[in-house]
Chain A
């Protein structure tokens, strides 16, 4: 098909790609090991004291990380681990937003309305009609049940940890990320590798499950979801601005972020400030 992504080699041959059954068995075993490791962490863990992060690092083998974790523990009181399955950024934002909405009814109502708008936008943008609206409907129903009190806070976390339901909800976040990029394709096209259109990038990097979010995806989801996020880094080389943390949107430094994530290479968890009066002196 002419519009299939280009992955062919020069000769258009498949011969080199033949993999034997033995190799497949080995690969499957390796994948299984990785999967088992991933599943040892729940999709969305319960809140833990921030000191648990410091305990992950050893003064002899990772002194720099231990010192950074200790510094962060002055400001942040709790951490919620998110499973590292390639969806962690999307899931961290989902959890952060749900936590806000569990406490703020007006925000919940606003988000239900904007989710309905996104459903229409997806259809207008030409996303496969009924599969996409199915993901949207599922998410909106989930929010409405929080609103009506059918889903208690406890039930919400149970659902966020149930593979099928949680990933159905997560797809809504991948779809709006993709839609936001497609809506703003002129602005974002220069950041995409040559030879790939924004639509192709979305279909290959954003819409499939288990694919990590890159900076473009991060920026787009935060804007699409209408939230403000701070990302704390364990080392300065990781931050786009070379600092210890990075706020998105970056043009509005006056307003405090409402979700904070901790980035460690390839992974995001959600972190929570200590009581604001207690932490404000240490922050700057």
Chain B
């Protein structure tokens, strides 16, 4: 971790703990001691297909954070079935790769993912799930996505 990355992550954590937006679960066990890995709970919004369901998002930060994007995926027993989320937890979302900017944050990523869940009309994984999960890299940031239809 560079000094800049650590400084920024400490600020993000303090801000998230003091005023976590609705639907995000953060506590003292959320981050590793060196701040390299975070686990944030996200709660499906009322009135959506995932209402009340709790999922776990894992963030892994490299030394170039926030200039490079964090690696973000769902982990744990329940991976949300969603047309942009593979059953291994990988998420197809452009701000996690090409469209990442240092002005984004853990919080804005969580909120984008929550909003992606909220707009889903169907609880199912992408149709290429089987082949993707079998052949993809362990690191979702390495996937060269062709972004899916963004209407969902």
Contacts and interface: CB of A to CB of B under 8 A. Distances in A.
Interface of A: 1-2, 4-9, 12-21, 24, 127-128, 130-132, 134-135, 163-165, 167-168, 171, 175, 203-204, 207-210
B51 interface: no
Contacts of B151: 2
A236 B37 CA distance: 50
Nearest to B118: A1
Given A130-B105, A164-B5, A204-B99, 20 more contacts: A1-B112, A4-B147, A6-B150, A7-B94, A7-B98, A8-B146, A13-B127, A13-B148, A14-B128, A14-B148, A15-B131, A17-B143, A19-B136, A24-B137, A131-B103, A131-B104, A165-B3, A168-B4, A175-B103, A209-B101
Contacts of A209: 67-68, 101-102
A15 B99 contact: no
Contacts of A208: 98-102
B137 A19 contact: yes
B100 A7 contact: no
Nearest to B113: A1
Given A4-B94, A8-B146, A131 B136 contact: no
Given A7-B146, A8-B147, A164-B2, A131 B132 contact: no
Looking at A21, A208, A209, the one whose CB has the most chain B CB atoms below 10 A away is: A208
B98 A20 contact: no
8 contacts: A4-B95, A8-B146, A8-B147, A18-B136, A131-B108, A204-B98, A208-B100, A209-B68
Nearest to A170: B67
B interface majority secondary structure: loop
B146 A203 contact: no
A5 B62 CA distance: 25
B72 to A, nearest CB: 15
B135 interface: yes
A167 B127 contact: no
Given A4-B93, A208-B101, A19 B2 contact: no
A12 B148 contact: yes
Contacts of B146: 7-9, 13-14, 16-17
B108 A128 contact: yes
Interface in B69-87: none
A134 B68 CA distance: 17
B2 A4 contact: no
A17 B103 contact: no
B9 to A, nearest CB: 12
B119 A14 contact: no
A79 to B, nearest CB: 27
Given A1-B116, A132-B103, A15 B128 contact: yes
Nearest to A28: B142
Contacts of A164: 2-5
A208 B116 CA distance: 22
Given A14-B92, A14-B132, A134-B11, A127 B4 contact: no
B48 interface: no
B147 to A, nearest CB: 4
B149 interface: yes
A127 B137 CA distance: 33
Contacts of B144: 17, 19
B110 to A, nearest CB: 13
Nearest to A200: B99
